[in-house]
């Protein structure tokens, strides 16, 4: 008996479905500015030189043994330094419970399941808008979701006042999901002063901040600078959770390398929390993949490779910043009646263009330009070769 007969086709993923449509399009003019995957100025995916060199050093020497349920201790150690700081006292005092995760998605999901298990009546406040998959992750972890104001359409900036009201009005001890840098999809980040006010208010309310940091190094080109929000919260004495990913900033997309960490009050608590995170991982995937973790720990564990990585991540960030300027200038040169200054004011991988779903559909149908229907443009897909074509198409559908 085909018990699955009632199974309906799943809806297309709002982001990955765009990639599928792009790949299916035979047009030579097609442009993919959908998924957040870096491309060089020839529109090609990039494997960083530091990654190639790490692979050369690993080749032939890597065993295929299981990692512990918590993953590679060395990779996790190096990863915590990126988020908490090279000389973090929290690392020294062993207060951080941390496990290797299946990239940023896996880190968020492991946290959501941990939250459900150990704070079963809690909910989570998620920004409007956010990365589409955040809703799926906390839904499948059966954690009720609330929203907080984030993006201000009229100014194409941060709705700071409304955000602060939501923080103040949420019940004490609520969970808040925060994008550490390079907010997806808006590219709008709080200023340093705004982060300080958010941190203060979250502390007053006893809320729990969970940072999703999928783009460290990609926003400004400097991983230290991109961790500023987290450092402010740490200085203010918050307990926090962090999801980290090497998909974008090290280009390890398909290797699925990330890390989930929870800052505890002391080492004893951290040992307990880590053991429970491992308990969640064991029935889910048992232990995480070994290769990507070895690439990361080889790079971050070698001063020469780490400095090469820092140079390469800056090159990627700078290229994107350059494309923001180019796209804005092309639109202005075309005499577009709209203001496009937000293209250069926003930060990170994405530009929240302000285009309507209908305008996006027109871009796809008439110009073979692929982007998500919320008008988000992955700037990594913009090149000196297609920026003129893209600007012209955007001008045509928006003028
Ligand atoms: C805020 C945020 N958090 C976590 C992730 C997960 O990333 P990973 O699991 O690969 O480490 C993404 C990636 N989001 C996308 O770049 C995007 O929004 O296009 C894309 O990779 C995706 O999965 O949707 C993200 O934007």
pLDDT digits (tens, 9 = 90+) for 304-319: 999 999 999 999 999 9
184: closest CA among 399, 379, 388, 381? 379
Whole-number pLDDT of residue 341? 97
To 10 degrees, the CA torsion angle through 177, 179, 180, 184?
A: 170
Collapse the DSSP code of 337 into the 3-class scheme (helix H, G, I; strand E, B; otherwise coil) and give the result.
Answer: coil
Is 212's C-beta closer than 6 angstroms to any atom of ligand 1? yes
398: closest CA among 353, 333, 364? 353
Pocket test for ligand 1, best of 38, 79, 184, 250 (most atoms within 8 A of CB): 184
pLDDT score of 364 more than 90: yes
Q: Of residues 248, 274, 309, 340, which has the active-site annotation?
A: 248
Whole-number pLDDT of residue 203? 98
Report the distance separating Cα 399 and Cα 392, nearest Å.
Answer: 10
Q: Of residues 156, 212, 309, 340, which has the active-site annotation?
A: 212
Confidence category of residue 82, pLDDT binned at 50, 70, 90: very high
pTM: 0.97
Whole-number pLDDT of residue 244? 98
pLDDT score of 274 more than 90: yes
Per DSSP, helices labelled H in the chain are: 16-24, 49-58, 73-84, 89-92, 103-118, 132-140, 160-169, 192-205, 223-226, 228-235, 267-281, 290-300, 303-333, 341-345, 357-367, 387-398
Judge if ipTM > 0.85: yes
Spacing, Cα 69 to ligand 1 middle (Å): 23
Share of the chain above pLDDT 70, in %: 100
Whole-number pLDDT of residue 303? 98
Q: Which residues is 244 bridged to in the sheet?
A: 213, 259
Whole-number pLDDT of residue 254? 98
Collapse the DSSP code of 369 into the 3-class scheme (helix H, G, I; strand E, B; otherwise coil) and give the result.
Answer: strand
Residue 319 near residue 41, CB atoms below 8 Å: yes
Report the distance separating Cα 379 and Cα 40, nearest Å.
Answer: 11
Write the residue with the smallest CA distance to atom 5 of ligand 1: 104
- The mean pLDDT of 338-360, rounded to a whole number, is 97
pLDDT score of 299 more than 90: yes
CA distances from 16 to 12, 63, 252, 257, 338 (A): 8, 33, 17, 19, 29
**248 tagged catalytic:** yes
Pocket test for ligand 1, best of 14, 33, 214 (most atoms within 8 A of CB): 214
Is 244's C-beta closer than 6 angstroms to any atom of ligand 1? no
Here the tokens at position 182 are 């390079």
- The mean pLDDT of 310-331, rounded to a whole number, is 98
- The mean pLDDT of 144-163, rounded to a whole number, is 97
**131 tagged catalytic:** yes
Average pLDDT, the chain: 97
Residue 213 near residue 227, CB atoms below 8 Å: yes
pLDDT score of 1 more than 80: no
- The mean pLDDT of 296-304, rounded to a whole number, is 98
**212 tagged catalytic:** yes
**What are the tens digits of pLDDT across the range 188-214?**
999 999 999 999 999 999 999 999 999
- The mean pLDDT of 97-117, rounded to a whole number, is 98
Confidence category of residue 2, pLDDT binned at 50, 70, 90: confident
Pocket test for ligand 1, best of 13, 17, 20, 36 (most atoms within 8 A of CB): 36
Q: Which atom of ligand 1 is nearest to the CA of 13?
A: 24
């Amino acid at each position: 008996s085909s018990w699955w007969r009632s199974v309906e086709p799943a809806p297309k993923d709002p982001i990955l479905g765009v990639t599928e449509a792009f790949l299916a399009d035979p047009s030579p003019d097609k442009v993919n500015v959908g998924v957040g995957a870096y491309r060089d100025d020839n529109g090609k995916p990039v494997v960083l030189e530091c990654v190639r060199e790490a692979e050369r050093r690993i080749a032939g020497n890597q065993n295929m043994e299981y990692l512990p349920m918590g993953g590679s201790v060395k990779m996790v150690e190096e990863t915590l330094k990126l988020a908490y700081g090279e000389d973090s006292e929290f690392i020294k005092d062993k207060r951080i419970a941390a496990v290797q995760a299946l990239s940023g998605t896996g880190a968020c999901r492991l946290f959501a399941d941990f939250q459900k298990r150990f704070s079963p009546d809690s909910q989570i406040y998620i920004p409007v808008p956010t990365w589409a998959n955040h809703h799926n992750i906390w839904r499948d972890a059966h954690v009720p979701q609330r929203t907080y104001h984030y993006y201000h359409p009229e100014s194409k900036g941060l709705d700071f006042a409304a955000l602060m009201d939501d923080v103040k009005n949420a019940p004490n001890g609520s969970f808040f999901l925060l994008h550490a840098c390079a907010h997806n999809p808006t590219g709008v980040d709080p200023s340093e002063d705004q982060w300080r006010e958010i941190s203060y208010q979250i502390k007053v309310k006893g809320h729990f901040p969970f940072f999703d940091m999928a783009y460290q190094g990609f926003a400004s080109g400097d991983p230290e600078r991109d961790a500023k929000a987290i450092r402010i919260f740490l200085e203010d004495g918050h307990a926090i959770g962090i999801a980290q990913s090497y998909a974008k900033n090290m280009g390890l997309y398909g290797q699925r390398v990330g890390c989930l960490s929870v800052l505890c009050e002391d080492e004893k608590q951290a040992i307990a929390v880590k053991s429970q995170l491992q308990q969640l991982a064991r029935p889910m995937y048992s232990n995480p993949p070994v290769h990507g973790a070895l690439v990361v720990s080889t790079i971050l564990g070698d001063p020469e490779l780490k400095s090469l990585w820092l140079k390469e991540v800056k090159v990627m960030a700078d290229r994107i910043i350059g494309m923001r300027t180019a796209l804005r200038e092309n639109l202005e040169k075309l005499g577009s009646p709209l203001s496009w200054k937000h293209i250069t004011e926003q930060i990170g991988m994405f530009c929240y263009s302000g285009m309507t779903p209908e305008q996006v559909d027109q871009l796809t149908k008439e110009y073979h330009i692929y982007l998500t229907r919320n008008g988000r443009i992955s700037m990594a897909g913009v090149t000196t070769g297609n920026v003129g074509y893209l600007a012209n198409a955007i001008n045509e559908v928006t003028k």
